[in-house]
Amino acid sequence: MDKKISLQDAIAKVKDGMTVMVGGFLAAGSPISILDALAESGVKDLTLICNDTAYPDVAHGKLITNKQVKKVIVSHVGTNPNTGAQMNSGELQVEFCPQGTLAERIRAAGAGLGGVLTTTGLGTIVAEGKETVKVDGKEYLLEKPLRADIALIGATVADESGNLIYVGTTKNFNPLMAAAADVVIAEAEKIVKVGDLAPETVHTPAIFVDYLVERK
């Protein structure tokens, strides 16, 4: 099955008010072409689940700069001053989540788990409003799964059926997010024919990917 669609068709699937996972780490492994097009699309009131908010003029950082985002669930925002400014002005809601916990919450959604237990964040603002659970006399925070309407992820190589390979640190959050959204759109630097990828090299199997866009 050929899952390739146009860039225009891809961004048309992102609607106002959706929760969107964005793969990448400071734009490494992010679907740059899709994010650039989204920044020009006018879509608004998005909730982003991402490791960071990139830079003001790079990747999903552009969505923050354009004020297309109402909330981010994120591990840090220090590289994008627009995020901090909008948070302080009350224009943007920011939910901070420790990076490892963020990854585990996304993984939990993909695995069908009810949450994860962690001691990270106990006694801090991270724990505010959250349940705690005692196991063998030790207290843990219950961190609930994170799931999205759409995941926008980046890959180095894909085949036409949607099997994905990531090179180096571009892997980061992408495989986790591919399992934790209702619709997954992958942007690949290169798309090859089915059969061209050795099965043992595939990081994300095609069953997780709904649509493919080739990077421009």
Q: Are 204 and 181 in contact (CB under 8 A)?
A: no
Which helix (DSSP H) or strand (DSSP E) does residue 60 occupy?
none
Q: Are 9 and 33 in contact (CB under 8 A)?
A: no
Which residues of the chain have a pLDDT value below 70? Answer: none
- What pLDDT does 206 receive? 98
Q: Where are the alpha helices (DSSP H) in the chain?
A: 7-12, 32-39, 61-65, 81-89, 99-111, 174-178
Q: Where are the domains of the chain?
A: 7-110+145-214
- What pLDDT does 136 receive? 97
pTM, whole model, 2 decimals? 0.95
- What pLDDT does 41 receive? 97
Q: Are 15 and 66 in contact (CB under 8 A)?
A: no
Q: Are 18 and 11 in contact (CB under 8 A)?
A: no
Distance of CA 99 to the CA centre of its chain: 12
Closest CA to 190 of 172, 209, 212: 212
Q: Are 36 and 154 in contact (CB under 8 A)?
A: no
Looking at domain 7-110+145-214, its CATH superfamily turns out to be: Glutaconate Coenzyme A-transferase (3.40.1080.10)
Q: Are 191 and 165 in contact (CB under 8 A)?
A: no
Burial environment of residue 65 by CB neighbours within 10 A (0 to 12, 13 to 18, 19 or more): buried
